[in-house]
Every structure is written in C-alpha cells, then in structure tokens.
C-alpha cells in the first residue's frame, strides 16, 4: 500500500509539472504570439523599446497629418500607435493601436506615404507635439478621439521636456477649422458653435466643403 501511495504521488507530481509547463507555454504564446488580446498587447508594447517615431513633413503648413510611434515587441512584431493630428483646430481626430509584423508595418507606411510624406522625429518631440495639440484643441472644446486612452499608453514613459522644439498651433494666429470628408453638416455646425463659444466671433476661421451628403441634410 505504501509503495502504491508513493507511485500515486509521483504520478500526481508529474501531472502537475506537465500542467505548469502547458500553462507557461500558453502564457508565452498569449503574450507574444500571433493571437493576442488588445489589453495584453498594449501592456507588452508599452514596456517594449521604442523602434521609431514619424510625423508628417510640414504638418503645420498642411494643418493635418499623421504621427506614428512604434515599439519593438517580442517575436519581431511592432506595436504601433497612429495619431491623426489636426494642428489647426481639432487635435487628435483619430487614433488606433495595432500589432504588426515588420512587413505589415512597411506596407502600412507605404499606404500613408501615398497621401503624405513622413519624416523621423525624436520620441520626446512626438510626445510633446501630441500633448500640446491636445491641450490646444481642449481649449476650443474638443476632446481627443475615444481610442486615445489606448494608444496614448505608448507615450507615457517618454519625457516631452527633453524636446527643444516650440510648436504653435492654429493658422495665422487663429484656430482654422476645415470640414473633413467624414463630417456631415450637423457635425460641422456643432464644431463651429464650439469655436464661437470658446473663441468669439471673428477669432477663428473655417472652411466647409459642400457635398451631396451635406446638401441632403
């Protein structure tokens, strides 16, 4: 009986050891493999080293452009935060976080470069630019895109005070709103109303596009 009990205990110990190995393997795959939840991915990404930061060239003369912060995750994957910045008025109009392979990231950059030319920017300046852009738009009554709470986590350990650059928002000293293709007449009117409340008449400029959707509404 004593021998059988010892054998039974050994079998149990072996099973426990196997279960621990399987769980450990699953944790590794879950954290760094192909299939990964958004919550886990952002945790891994924000603790990974910065790969690079990009910004649209001449963003302040164009009024709007893309900023990208990428971090090198395990298994040669990149965690990227993409921020569409309206530096003349609305701040962070859109943003998203994604995990891509190096080839996928290269393809994504090619897609963006069709419409705008990207150039390297120091991480501290990328953080400073995004922060100040948000502060500027917040003063006009506009909040950053809802997904900023996710993508901003790629910025939290970057020190913006290191950046020597000075940024001036708006156009010719005033906010300048240009209606985008995804904004209907009602949305544009709300934006202009907010500018009136925060700036006062004559203290901002705007340009609204006329399209079939706006006319119908």
Of 131, 188, 207, whose CA–CA distance to 165 is shortest? Answer: 131
Tell me the pLDDT tens digit for each residue of 191-216: 999 999 999 999 999 998 755 444 33
Q: Which three-class secondary structure state does DSSP give residue 156?
A: coil
As a whole number, mean pLDDT of residues 123-138 equals: 98
Top pLDDT among 138 and 217 is at 138
CA angle 121, 172, 56 (to 5 degrees): 20
Distance CA 86, CA 190 (A): 17
Strands (E), 46-117: 50-56, 64-73, 77-86, 91-101
The whole model's pTM is what? 0.80
Mean pLDDT computed over 10-18: 54
- How far, in Å, CA of 206 to CA of 191, rounded? 10
Q: What is the pLDDT of residues 67-111, one digit of tens each?
A: 999 999 988 899 999 999 999 999 999 999 999 999 999 999 999
pLDDT for 6 equals 55
Instruction: Name, of 24-38, 107-121, 201-215, the range with top average pLDDT.
Output: 107-121
Q: Which residue has the higher pLDDT, 174 or 217?
A: 174
pLDDT in tens, 139-181: 999 999 999 999 999 999 999 999 999 999 999 999 999 998 8
Q: In the prediction, which pLDDT does 10 show?
A: 57
pLDDT at residue 44 in the model: 94
Is it the case that residue 1 has pLDDT exceeding 80? no
């Amino acid at each position: 009986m004593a021998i059988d009990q010892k054998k039974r205990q050994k079998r149990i110990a072996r099973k426990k050891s196997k279960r621990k190995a399987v769980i450990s393997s699953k944790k590794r795959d879950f954290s760094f493999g192909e299939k990964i939840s958004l919550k886990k991915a952002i945790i891994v990404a924000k603790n990974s080293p910065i790969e690079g930061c990009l910004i649209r060239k001449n963003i302040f003369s164009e009024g709007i452009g893309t900023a990208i912060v990428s971090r090198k995750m395990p298994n040669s994957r990149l965690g990227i935060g993409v921020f569409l910045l309206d530096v003349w008025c609305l701040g962070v109009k859109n943003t998203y976080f994604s995990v891509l392979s190096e080839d996928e990231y290269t393809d994504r950059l090619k897609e963006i470069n069709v419409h705008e030319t990207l150039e390297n920017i120091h991480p501290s300046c990328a953080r400073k630019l995004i922060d100040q852009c948000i502060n500027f738009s917040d003063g006009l009554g506009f909040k950053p895109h809802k997904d900023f709470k996710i993508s901003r986590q790629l910025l939290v350990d970057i020190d913006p005070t290191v950046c020597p650059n000075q940024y001036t928002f708006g156009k010719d000293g005033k906010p300048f709103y240009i209606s985008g293709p995804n904004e209907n007449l009602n949305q544009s009117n709300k934006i202009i109303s907010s500018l009136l409340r925060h700036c006062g008449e004559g203290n901002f400029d705007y340009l609204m596009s006329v399209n079939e959707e706006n006319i119908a509404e």
